[in-house]
Amino acid sequence: MNICVFCSSSDELDSAYYEKAAVFGDYLGRNNINLVFGAGGSGLMGVVSETMRRYPVRVVGIIPEKLNKEHIVSKNMTDLFVTSTMSERKNMMIEKSDGFVALPGGFGTLEEILEVITLKQLNYFDKPIAFWNFNNFFDPLFAMFDKLFAENFAKDENGALYFISDNVDEVINYILNYQNGR
């Protein structure tokens, strides 16, 4: 199983976020789950890949050539793919992944997770998507989703396109046990 994680590359976060990123990487590694990610060596991305280094799993980084710089790219990967553009990067991440999990992050994280939700909504694929909502990080986003549903900008059934939990076991179990739209 290959799980793609979208998360922050910032090194200026509260330590609780890095601790949870290490928990996530450890959980994947202990359960022989491969990682697909944006190849960043800093922030939550760096912590997840560093933590997984202890395990015999694949850590697949995908980065656009513009960001393929020594001070940016993680050294904790088994595979590195370099693309021409960010769009190609996201397409490759989607192709190589069996499911997607969002951890806290900035604009890039939001753009990536919203794109996979949209692609699933449009039936480009049927893969599980989950938010690990620790520290209630995504609550403002979910309030926006509720507004979309309440004012008919999105159909209520689109809430089934993704799963939300503050519990890592529930998030990973959802991804691992996902069956066509459920």
Using pLDDT thresholds of 50, 70 and 90, give the confidence band for residue 182.
low
- Ordered DSSP codes for the chain: -EEEEE----S-S-HHHHHHHHHHHHHHHHTT-EEEE--B-SHHHHHHHHHHTTSSS-EEEEEEGGG--TTTB-S--SEEEEESSHHHHHHHHHHT-SEEEEPS--HHHHHHHHHHHHHHHTTS----EEEE-GGGTTHHHHHHHHHHHHTTSS-GGGGGGSEEES-HHHHHHHHHT--TT-
Reported as a single tens digit per residue, the pLDDT across 114-159 is 999 999 999 999 999 999 999 999 999 999 999 999 999 999 999 9
> Any idea which fold 2-176 has?
Rossmann fold (3.40.50)
Residue ranges covered by each domain of the chain: 2-176
Using pLDDT thresholds of 50, 70 and 90, give the confidence band for residue 103.
very high
